[in-house]
Structure 1
Amino acid sequence: MRTKIKTRFIHIGSFVLGFGFLGALDGIIFHQLLQWHSVIMATNRPGQIISDGIFHFAVTITLVLGGILLWLAGNPTNLSKGIRLLVGGILIGGGTFNIVEGIINHHILQIHRVKPGDPNALVYDLSFLAVGLLLLIIGIFIKRSGRTQLTSINA
């Protein structure tokens, strides 16, 4: 397979895998272990369980799709700076999940908060966004450092 196609699969696959991975962590930590919230809080218990089930199903599909794309890309060590592209893409995807989910669900739609009912609920929501932004910035830095070195190698 050509290098450009493999690189594209690593870019897309790592983003999708990171997006799904942070979604899975959100579901496991906040929905199940801490039981702070469900996807849709303003329903009865069966509605909350169904909304969480749909969320977990979508996250699982996202993880599988990311895995398939990375499998199609092949071994990232066969590409110059392939590991940096992989790790950076996973962090960018994860950060994007937190930012998108936080802005849409916590602030725009207000279907749940990170820790609803807590007097510091806004602090939890903003911290969730800050973690997403931090992951995104670190991921971009890692990917760009990989690209810069890749460009200097080919120059």
Structure 2
Amino acid sequence: MEKQNVWAGLLFGLGVAAFIDETVFHQLLHWHHFYDKSTMAIGLVSDGLFHAVSWFATVGSLFLVADLRRRQAWQPKHWAGAVLLGAGGFNFYDGTIQHKVMRLHQIRYNVEILPYDILWNVAAVSAIALGLYLMKRREAAYE
């Protein structure tokens, strides 16, 4: 059951982080699209697909949580650590691989990008560290 708690948390964290990224940075602020190397129409389609995947991850994770709760195997603290790990992992992957290696998009355009990159990746690493700490702390409580 512990693995299912971790997977449910990772998926939920990934889904929520992607959902917030899509909603805030893509739709509300118009800073970028998931794929910025083509036309505006392609950018909007890529945003829609990205949004759908984040929604499926979030909903799928909640089905896993419902199953865990039904079997009385849900470990909320372990799950919460995995949520932070999933959210931070998604944002770190986005900030390093998608922004810098693949250059699918940047956080913002026509600004000094370094402060945005630093803040994005520091926040991601902080979420990962806190998630690992919570998961490790919970494991130590059962030893």
TM interval, shorter chain, is: over 0.9
CA RMSD of aligned residues (A): 1.7
Q: What residue ranges of structure 1 are gaps of 5+ in the alignment?
A: none
Counterpart in the other structure of 1:56: 51
Tell me whether 1:123 sits opposite 2:115 in the alignment: yes
Counterpart in the other structure of 1:18: 13
Counterpart in the other structure of 2:102: 109
Counterpart in the other structure of 1:143: 135
Deviation at 1:83, TM superposition (A): 2.2
Specify the structure having the higher radius of gyration (Cα): 1
Tell me whether 1:42 sits opposite 2:44 in the alignment: no
Deviation at 1:135, TM superposition (A): 0.3
State the AA in 1 paired with 2:88: G
Residues 68-116 of structure 1: CA distance to partner in whole angstroms, max 9, x if unpaired?
Answer: 111111179x559x22101101000000000111111111011211112
State the AA in 2 paired with 1:30: F
- State the 4+ residue runs in structure 1 displaced beyond 4 angstroms: none
Counterpart in the other structure of 2:3: 8
Deviation at 1:128, TM superposition (A): 0.9
TM-score w.r.t. length of structure 1: 0.86
**C-alpha distance in 1, partners of 2:73/2:65?**
13
Counterpart in the other structure of 2:85: 92
**C-alpha distance in 2, partners of 1:45/1:110?**
16
**C-alpha distance in 2, partners of 1:105/1:18?**
18
Change (3 A) 1:79 1:72: closer
Deviation at 1:61, TM superposition (A): 1.0
Length, aligned pairs only: 143
Counterpart in the other structure of 2:64: 69
Deviation at 1:8, TM superposition (A): 2.1
Identity of aligned residues (%): 22
Task: Say whether the 8 Å CA contact 1:23–1:97 is kept in structure 2.
Answer: yes
Q: What residue ranges of structure 2 are gaps of 5+ in the alignment?
A: none
**C-alpha distance in 2, partners of 1:117/1:61?**
33
